[in-house]
């Protein structure tokens, strides 16, 4: 199922997305599962994490009975504001006293010497927890159509030999990152896209239009059960139109 939800502003977008995520967590838990959820970085992440935390106070979802992961992470020091896990831990996981063994941070430059080791350790942890089929993957979308740290034209977009991959030349700083691979992003039961702003409009139109995957990595991730697009009007403004620069 492909569910397009267009919102007037960020507040209504994150309210909808947060309620949706909490409902999916509660449903999995009602079925006796401890869900695996991969969060994202980017500009929508922080208000999203704050809203999930706020709404969780009177929701059946138990955030302590979730395994929390990240779709991608920057390979920087543990206390760097550049870390994608920073706002999730500060706003969502720490206040809810989520057990440390349920918070799967990607190794930092304080933990290991190189990004390839960080990616290999993350992949091994994913396998050990059986998390290669996530319940939910939350993804931002870059103006170039990247998702997680899978960037247009880079070999990682089509790599299928590992659950997590190192990136050393991200066009979006910082350059070194770890990313879930496309098979993991496509193996999730549900994918939730979060995007705002006119700069994302062409990429989102391309993402929802058939074409080469390496050109627009956002064409790749789709839930095996559902895919939800939470967009503001500006980000959705080119949907249904072909980009003028495409012959």
Residues near ligand 6PG (CB under 6 A) are 40-44, 72, 74, 84, 140-142, 146-149, 172
**Least separation in angstroms between CB 45 and ligand 6PG:** 7
Which residue, 189 or 198, is less far from ligand 6PG as judged by CB?
198
Nearest distance from residue 244's CB to ligand 6PG, in Å? 22
Strands 190-195 and 226-232: parallel
Q: Which of 33, 27, 36, 42 is nearest to 230 (CA)?
A: 42
- Find the shortest distance in angstroms from Cβ 60 to ligand 6PG: 28
For ligand 6PG, give the closer residue by CB, 28 or 179: 179
Residue 64 vs 174, nearer CB to ligand 6PG: 174
- Give the residue carrying structure tokens 């050393």: 168
Angstrom distance (rounded) from CA 28 to CA 26: 5
Q: Toward ligand 6PG, which CB reaches closer, 123 or 139?
A: 139
DSSP line for 4-49: EEEESSHHHHHHHHHHHHHHHHHHHHHTT---EEEE--STTHHHHH
Nearer to ligand 6PG, 28 or 177 (CB): 177
b/e map of 108-117 (b: 16 or more CB within 10 Å)?
bbeebeebee
Strands 36-39 and 67-70: parallel
Report the nearest approach of ligand 6PG to the CB of residue 177 (Å). 6
CB 136, min distance to ligand 6PG, A: 15
Residue closest to ligand 6PG, measured at CB: 140
């Amino acid at each position: 199922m492909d569910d397009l939800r267009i919102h007037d502003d960020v507040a209504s977008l994150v309210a909808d997305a947060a309620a949706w995520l909490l409902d999916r967590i509660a449903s999995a838990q009602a079925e006796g599962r401890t869900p695996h959820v991969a969060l994202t970085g980017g500009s929508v992440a922080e208000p999203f994490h704050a809203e999930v935390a706020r709404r969780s106070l009177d929701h059946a979802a138990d955030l302590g009975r979730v395994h929390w992961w990240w779709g991608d992470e920057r390979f920087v020091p543990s206390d760097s504001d550049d870390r994608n896990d920073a706002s999730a831990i500060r706003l969502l996981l720490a206040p809810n006293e989520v057990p440390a063994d349920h918070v799967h941070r990607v190794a930092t430059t304080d933990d290991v010497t190189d990004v390839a080791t960080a990616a290999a350790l993350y992949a091994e942890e994913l396998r050990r927890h059986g998390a290669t089929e996530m319940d939910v993957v939350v993804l931002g979308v870059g103006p170039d159509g990247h998702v997680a740290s899978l960037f247009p034209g880079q070999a990682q977009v089509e790599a299928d030999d590992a659950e997590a991959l190192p990136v050393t030349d991200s066009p979006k700083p910082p350059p070194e990152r770890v990313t879930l691979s496309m098979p993991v992003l496509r193996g999730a039961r549900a994918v939730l896209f979060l995007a705002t702003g006119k700069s994302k409009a062409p990429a989102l139109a391309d993402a929802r239009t058939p074409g080469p995957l390496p050109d627009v990595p956002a064409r790749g991730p789709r839930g095996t059960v559902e895919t939800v697009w939470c967009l503001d009007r500006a980000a959705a403004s080119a949907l249904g139109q072909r980009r003028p620069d495409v012959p």
